[in-house]
């Protein structure tokens, strides 16, 4: 029996494995991100797939907005990790610099950001980001 297309599709984060085995397991709550970069990749995938509950749940309580509004006309088309500083499993803070590409009304855009992450009680959270 064939699996649904969404389950067998490549992961939006650019991982070399299927969505369900990559970011899908984090977004579904099956497992947790073990590094800041893994959380960053899963949050990108959540933006690409419209998973606002996951975005809020992984936002640091100190900086979390009351809700996330996504632009339905925005299509995320690629992620490139430029640098990662700290943010490993045994650490409590980390930084990930990335470029996320997207289109709105057919026009290409880039979001270049250095995001900060913090671990609280063993779970990684997005703290804030600096646009570059």
Q: For residues 33 and 26, is the Cβ–Cβ distance under 8 A?
A: yes
- CATH for 5-131? 3.10.450.50
Among residues 75, 80, 78, 91, the alpha carbon closest in space to that of 35 is found at 91
CA angle 24, 69, 45 (to 5 degrees): 20
> Could you state, in order of their start, the residue ranges of all structural domains in the chain?
5-131
Give the per-residue pLDDT at 9: 87
Give the per-residue pLDDT at 8: 65
Ranges under pLDDT 50 in the chain = 1-6
Give the per-residue pLDDT at 33: 98
Q: Kindly report whether the global pTM for this prediction surpasses the value 0.85.
A: yes
Q: Is 71 helix (H, G, I), strand (E, B) or coil?
A: coil
Write out pLDDT tens, residues 26-58. 999 999 999 999 999 999 999 999 999 999 999
Give the per-residue pLDDT at 17: 93
């Amino acid at each position: 029996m064939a699996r649904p297309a969404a389950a067998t599709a490549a992961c939006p984060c650019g991982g070399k494995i299927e969505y369900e085995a990559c970011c899908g397991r984090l977004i579904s709550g099956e497992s947790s991100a073990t590094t800041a970069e893994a959380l960053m990749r899963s949050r990108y995938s959540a933006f690409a797939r419209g998973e606002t509950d996951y975005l809020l749940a992984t936002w640091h309580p100190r900086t979390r907005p009351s809700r996330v509004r996504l632009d339905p006309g925005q299509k995320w088309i690629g992620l490139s990790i430029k640098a990662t500083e700290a943010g490993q499993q045994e650490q409590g803070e980390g930084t990930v610099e990335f470029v996320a590409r997207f289109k709105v009304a057919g026009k290409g855009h880039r979001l270049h950001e250095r995001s900060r992450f913090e671990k609280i009680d063993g779970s990684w959270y997005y703290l804030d980001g600096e646009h570059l």
